[in-house]
Amino acid sequence: MNLFRIVLLTITFIFASAAWSAAIDINTASSEQLTGLKGIGLKKAEAIVSYRNQHGKFKTAEALSNVKGIGLKTVEKNKSLIEITH
């Protein structure tokens, strides 16, 4: 029984890790999806969506730093998670 639990927990952890490392398209993601980025809570995620609605799609990951409260350090931390569609 303990072996079964260990195997089940291991499988769950593997799938959870894969889900956290999935790319997030900042041009189509909802505010809830954007909270998957490091350092982005719901308020900043809502600010990203609002900025995107007002100014159009982001052309680069660095353009995310134009959103108030998001700096280049946050962008750099998330570089591997950010995806951009045009």
**What fold characterizes domain 23-83?**
DNA polymerase; domain 1 (1.10.150)
- Between the alpha carbon of residue 83 and those of residues 1, 5, 67, 86, the distances in Å are 42, 36, 17, 10
Nearest to 61 by CA among 33, 38, 27: 27
User: pLDDT tens digits for the chain (86 residues)?
Assistant: 677 677 656 666 555 544 555 899 999 999 999 999 999 999 999 999 999 999 999 999 999 999 999 999 999 999 999 999 98
Tokens of 74: 């946050």
The ranges assigned to domains in the chain are 23-83
Residues found in the chain:
86
Tokens of 49: 């969506």
